[in-house]
Every structure is written in structure tokens, then in C-alpha cells.
Amino acid sequence: MELTHVPENIKRLTDGKPYETDDTGMSGSRVMLFGDCVLKIVKSRKENRETIRMMKWLRGKLPVPEVICFEEDEEYQYLLMTRMKGRMACDAEYLEKPEKLVRLLAEALRIVWSVDVSDCPRTRDTDAELREARYRVENGLVDMDNTDPGTFGEGGFRDPEELLEWLENNRPSSYEPVLSHGDFCLPNIFLEDGRISGFIDLGFTGAGDMWRDLALCRRSLMCNLDGTYGGKVYPPFDTDLLFRELGIEPDNKRLRYYALLDELF
């Protein structure tokens, strides 16, 4: 990402402050961590303005970063926000004790789902997701480097088009409406002192299906423990414990559906 013209307002608020870069995310964004704030720079998309609207709406409802300044030019959008306290749920400290981590993740899910969505400014239900997925497929935006082995190729789908068609024809028959985080994976959940301290990366947050969060949470938990992301391989762990904590019967069909849908993002 070649940055030439950082908008004046952002420059004024960050110039000269020491920072570290963060390369946890997979969205092609650039993240700069300052002492008490974070600058996230992404390629401009008008949908990201909705994310800002959601972040503002969520203030006081959930622990989310506060928007300090949002600027955009033809190429990039610049979001300067407060820095969440604590550590990501994929920190070794938590992965070492997966039973405890699962209890915290279950609590985090309950907290997100308990937000009243009656005046939520954004809908991210299956229709909205499929519409965006179609746009991504038609415009060659699907990131094929970050897909689960087995999704495409032998025994799987031929290509993103075929997967999209399958998803459009096999929607879940019912729907559990909640506030859905939309990218409920461990690096987006912050924990501190045995409590939930923050939710970040709210680009897909909106009124949506509970099962979307469950699918991504389970997969993220599994992949962070089994070395998929190149980290330490932890002892085998039964991710069904997450469902037992929540008192929900795992519905493998729906879990698979949303994990597959996420492959197109």
C-alpha cells in the first residue's frame, strides 16, 4: 500500500507519534497502532461509510472503538479510532486455556446478540451477504489465497461462481435475528482480566443471523488452536464446548453454510 497523501486532519492527529504496525488482519488493510489510538487505512469503498455509522450507533451499546476522525480520498479511507484495551482472544495466554477462552467467547457472543436491533442502521442478513458476495465474485474480488483447503478443487466447488450458485440455492430455511458482529473471529475480540474488553473490525456488523457469528467463531477457535494460521499447535480441543456453554445445539448444516459464505469475502 503506497501512501502519498495522508489527509491533513489525520496527519495533524498522528504526526510524530510513535507507532507499531499490525499485520494480523487479512483484509489488505494497513493498521498503525499508536499508544492510545489506531489508524486503519483501507481502499476506498462506499460501504465503509456504513461501518462508521454502525460504530457510532454502537457507542454505549457495546465496547467498540470510538471514531476520532474519518477521512477519505479517491483511493483510501482513513479511520482514526481509540485503541481497545486488553489482548486479542487469539493471544497465547488465552489459547493455552481453551476451556476458559470458550466461556469468554460464549459471553462475548451473548453480549453482541443482546443489543436491540430495532433501530439498527444496517442489515447484514443472508440476502445482503449474498448480494455483496455476488458483486465480489463478478468483480474478481474473492481472495482465493485465504480459503479453507477443500472448499475449492477436488471434492469441493469448481470456482467461486459455483459456490455462489450453491449458496443462493441452499439458504438456511430459518433465521435467528440478532445483532451479528459479522467477522466474529478471535483477533477481533479483545479480552482483559478475564473479561470482554472490546469488539473491533465492524465492517460486516449489522442486524443478521446468529449462526453467522457462531460459524465464524467456531472456525476461528479451531484454526487458532490447530496451527492452521502457522502458530503453535495446541492439544486437540472439542469446539462443541462453545455450543454447550451457550445451550445451543450445533446445527452443522448452518455452520457449514456460513463458513462457506465467508469464503467469498
Ligand X SMILES: Nc1ncnc2c1ncn2[C@@H]1O[C@H](COP(=O)(O)OP(=O)(O)O)[C@@H](O)[C@H]1O
Cα separation of 126 and 219, whole Å? Answer: 19
127 is known as an active-site residue: no
Count of Cβ atoms closer than 10 Å to residue 33 Cβ: 15
For residue 201, state whether it binds Mg ion (rule: CB under 5 A). yes
**Residue with the three cell numbers 449458496:** 167
For residue 24, state whether it binds ligand X (rule: CB under 6 A). yes
* From 50-58, 138-146, 149-157, 180-188, span contacting Mg ion (CB under 5 A): 180-188
42 vs 164, which CB is nearer to Mg ion? 42
For residue 84, state whether it binds ligand X (rule: CB under 6 A). yes
Catalytic residue, from 125, 148, 183, 201: name it: 183
**Residue with the three cell numbers 462457506:** 260
Bridge-based pairing of strands 20-22 and 30-33 is antiparallel
146 in Cβ contact with 229 (< 8 Å): no
Quick one: which of 94, 95, 179, 201 contacts ligand X (CB under 6 A)?
201
Which residue minimizes CB distance to Mg ion? 201
Please give the backbone phi and psi of residue 130, each rounded to the nearest 5 degrees, phi first.
-65, -35
Who's near 231: CB < 8 A, 6+ residues apart? 90, 92, 95, 224
For residue 189, state whether it binds ligand X (rule: CB under 6 A). no
For residue 160, state whether it binds ligand X (rule: CB under 6 A). no
Residues that bind ligand X (CB under 6 A): 22, 24-27, 29, 31, 38, 40, 65, 81, 83-84, 88, 187-188, 200-201
The residues annotated with a catalytic role in the active site are 183
